[in-house]
Amino acid sequence: MDTATLAPLRSAARRTARRIEDRTPADRDRAIDGLRALALLAVPTGHWLLGGFTLDAGGALHNASPLTAFGLLAPASWVLQMLGIFFLVGGHASVLSYRRALGRGTSAGTWLRGRLVRLGRPVVGVTAVWATLLLLLYGLGVPEATLRTGATLVIQPLWFVAVYAGTTALTPYCVRAARRLGVWAAAPLAVAVAGVDFLRYGPFADAMPSWLSLLNLLPGWLFAYQLGVCWGERRLGRRAAGVLLLGGAALFAALLLVFHYPASMVGVPGQDRTNSHPPSLLVLALAAAQSGAAILLRDRLARLLRRPALWAPVVVVNLSAMTILCWHQTAMLTAAVPASFLGPVPGLTVAPDTVGWLLARLAWLPVFAAVLLLIARTTRRFEAPWTGVTRARRTAAALLAAGFAAFALGLA
């Protein structure tokens, strides 16, 4: 585009940024919103960059990962795995919201129901839509294996919503723990995860049941959320943040170099151990280091986001948080499923085991982002209250969502 074409776009962008700036309350915590936006954007970036496909002889798509061929990419997962930051910010925001609700005379139960409904609406929306899409795509000749691959990818990020809902439900107890113990309230959670890791990876590993690792699910993700609650309660200051940063980094290095934890923060096909499903102690070490860094950088980030041009995209991302989480895999599949009928397409349906694939996938990322923007224009309505929606339609959406979940989990 030439300068004459770009000038109106730049002018419109500046006007939009100025309007957002003018509507932002003076006491808005921009650093918290900035951290949340960063963690949110890391989710689609990670899934799009570290997830690939292969085509079988029948033209069906199957999940694959470049990490299988490129172990040196594992450090990229350390940067892109920012769920610790998301839970930290979530805990901080929840305690402030909880405190305001109690100040207005709202009960804890009413506050919690409101939070859970806001989380649940977009999840029901995306799964109900996909239940309908499965039937349509199957009728159009898309192989069942491709549909199962797509369903797995769509439901993959939704486990996070379920875990986040569980940690949110524990907010009143986290607040009490923070007020009584300060930042030490998070320590028993780390000890619990370390204990389970010792049992499942230590000398008694062969005698341990396979479900033992599930015991890490709640304390593993509650750890960073509890740190966020302590931060919101002003029981986690800069000195403790420095300890978290240095201690988390040291523990992270020790777990990798001495105890030989898998280097990747996400699961790698073919490996019998994974750090994130459910979280291992390595995830907590990374979350501790990230949380310490975030707290130490808070003031600097807040000053940086005083610039309208930087603040505007942060606001837009936060307003579309659940839409990004629920629909980003659909954006990638929107490109991959039609491409599967064309045969091998570099960076999309070709096995992710060459440098050429990596370069091609980087070129696909803006395409996925553009498709997500188009999808979000319609699907953001699921985040708003479902006013005017009849009970029959809500029931139908719930049944469709349940059917899709059963299909994605291999139950149907």
The average pLDDT across 379-401 equals 87
Backbone angles phi, psi at 51, to 5 degrees: -125, 130
pLDDT of 276? 84
Q: What's the rounded mean pLDDT across residues 167-179? A: 96
What whole-number distance in Å separates Cα of residue 50 and Cα of residue 78? 12
**Per-residue confidence (pLDDT) for residue 137, from 0 to 100:** 95
Could you read off the pLDDT of 270-298 as tens digits, one per residue? Answer: 777 888 888 999 999 999 999 999 999 99
Average pLDDT over residues 182-208: 94
Whether the per-residue pLDDT at 1 is higher than 70: the answer is: no
Kindly indicate the confidence band of residue 156, based on its pLDDT and cuts at 50, 70 and 90.
Answer: confident
- Give CA–CA dist 263/285, Å, rounded: 13
Task: Using the predicted structure, report yes or no on whether residue 13 has a pLDDT greater than 60.
Answer: yes
Note whether residue 24 is domain-resident.
no
73-127, pLDDT tens digit by residue? 888 889 888 989 999 999 999 999 999 999 999 999 999 999 999 999 999 999 9
Q: How much is the pLDDT for 184? A: 97
N-terminal to C-terminal alpha carbon distance within the chain: 50
Average pLDDT for 39-49 = 94
- Domain assignment present for residue 18? The answer is no
Query: Quick one: pLDDT at residue 411?
Result: 64
pLDDT-based confidence at 7, cuts 50/70/90?
A: low
Looking at residue 71, its pLDDT comes to 80
Segment 124-148 shows an average pLDDT of 95
Which range (15-19, 167-171, 240-244) has the least confidence?
Answer: 15-19
Find the mean pLDDT for residues 213-233: 96
CB-based burial of residue 54 (10 Å sphere; 0-12 exposed, 13-18 middle, 19+ buried)?
middle
| pLDDT score for 394 | 87
In-domain check, residue 20: no
- C-alpha gyration radius of the chain: 22
Number of other residues whose CB lies within 10 A of the CB of residue 3: 7
What is the rounded distance in angstroms from the CA atom of residue 100 to the CA atom of residue 83?
25
Query: pTM value?
Result: 0.93
Residue 5 maps to a domain: no
Return the structure tokens found at 253.
Answer: 């290095």
The answer to the question of residue 7 being in a domain is no
**Which pLDDT belongs to residue 385?**
85
380 lies in which domain range? 29-408
9 confidence band (pLDDT: 50, 70, 90): low
3-state secondary structure of 107: coil
Does the pLDDT at position 151 exceed 90? yes
Q: What are phi and psi of 53, to 5 degrees?
A: -135, 160
pLDDT of residue 116: 92
Token output for 65: 């990962």
Where helices occur in 320-380 by DSSP H, the ranges are 321-340, 355-379
Highest mean pLDDT among 15-29, 354-368, 391-405 belongs to: 354-368
pLDDT, mean over the chain: 92
Q: Which residue has the tokens 């690792």?
A: 213
- pLDDT, greater one: 250 or 27: 250
State both tokens at 39: 């963690």
From CA 117, how far away is CA 322, in angstroms rounded?
Answer: 12
Residue 5: its pLDDT value, please? 57
The predicted structure's pLDDT at residue 6: 60
Using 50, 70 and 90 to split pLDDT, how confident is the model at 266? confident
The pLDDT score that the predictor gives to residue 22 is: 85
∠ at Cα 84 (110, 211), nearest 5°?
A: 85
Peptide bond preceding 143: is omega within 30 degrees of 0, i.e. cis?
A: no
Residue 13 lies in a domain: no
pLDDT > 90: percent of the chain: 74
| Per-residue pLDDT at 299 | 95
List, in order, residues 6 or more apart from 389 with CB less than 8 Å away. Answer: none
**Tally of structural domains, the chain:** 1
Tell whether 189 is covered by a domain. Answer: yes
Secondary structure of 113-165 in the HEC alphabet? HHHHHHHHHHHHHHHHHHHHHHHHHHHCCCCHHHHHHHHHHHHCCHHHHHHHH
Q: What is the mean pLDDT of residues 130-138?
A: 95
Query: Which amino acid appears at position 266 of this protein?
Result: V
- 8 contact partners, CB below 8 Å, separation of at least 6: none
- Residue 14 belongs to some domain of the structure: no
